[in-house]
Amino acid sequence: MKTENLAVRTLVLIAGVFIMAFGVSISICSGLGTTPISSVPYVSNIAFPEISVGTFTILLNVFFVLLQMLILRQNYKFIQLLQIPLIIVFGWFIDVHLSWTVNFIPANYLQQWIYCLLSCLIIALGIFLQVKADVSILLGEGFVMAIAKTTKKDFGFIKILFDSLLVVVALIAVFIFLDKLEGVREGTIVSALLVGFIVEFYKKHLTCIDKIVYPDKVVEFIEEPYMSTDNFVITISRQYGSGGHAVGELVAKKLGIEFYDSKLIDLTAEESGFTKEYVKKHEQKLTNSLLYKLYKQNYAYINEAVPPQDMLFMVQTRVIRDIATKSSCVIVGRCADYILKGHPNCFNVFVHANDAFRKSRAITEYGIHPDDAEKEMERKDKERKNYNEHYTGRKWADLKDFDMTVETSLFGIDITAAMIIDARRKAMYT
Encode pLDDT of 276-302 as tens digits. Answer: 888 888 888 776 666 666 666 766 667
Q: If 0-12 CB within 10 Å is exposed, 13-18 middle and 19+ buried, where does residue 74 land?
A: exposed
Average pLDDT over residues 243-253: 97
Res. 80: pLDDT tops 70? yes
- Name the nearest CA neighbour of 230 among 366, 1, 428: 428
227 burial type by CB count under 10 A (0-12 exposed, 13-18 middle, 19+ buried): middle
Among 209-218, 244-253, 288-297, 404-413, the minimum mean pLDDT is found in 288-297
Task: For the chain, give every domain's residue range.
Answer: 6-213, 225-427
Q: Greatest CA separation found in the chain? A: 82
User: What is the per-residue pLDDT across 14-39, written as a single tens digit (0 to 9) for each?
Assistant: 999 999 999 999 999 999 999 999 99
Residue 211's pLDDT band, with cuts at 50, 70 and 90, is confident
Measured in whole angstroms, how far is the alpha carbon of residue 350 from the centre of its chain? 27
**Buried-exposed string 252-270: b where 16+ CB fall within 10 A, e elsewhere:** beebebbbbbeebbebbbe
pTM score: 0.77
**Which residue did the predictor score with more confidence, 74 or 198?**
198
Which CATH number is associated with domain 225-427? 3.40.50.300
The pLDDT, as a whole number, for residue 198 is: 93
Most confident of 76-80, 146-150, 283-287, 338-342: 338-342
**Tens-digit pLDDT profile for residues 365-389:** 999 999 999 999 999 999 999 899 9
pLDDT of residue 294: 66
d(CA 74, CA 21): 32
Q: What share of the chain is helix, strand, coil (3-state, %, to 5)?
A: 65, 5, 25
Report which DSSP code applies to 185.
S
Query: Is the pLDDT confidence value at 399 over 80?
Result: yes
How many C-beta neighbours within 10 Å does residue 209 have? 16
Q: Which amino acid is at 254?
A: K
Quick one: pLDDT at residue 290? Answer: 64
User: For the chain, what is the total number of helices (H) and then of strands (E)?
Assistant: 18, 5
Question: Side chain identity at 93, as an amino acid letter?
Answer: F
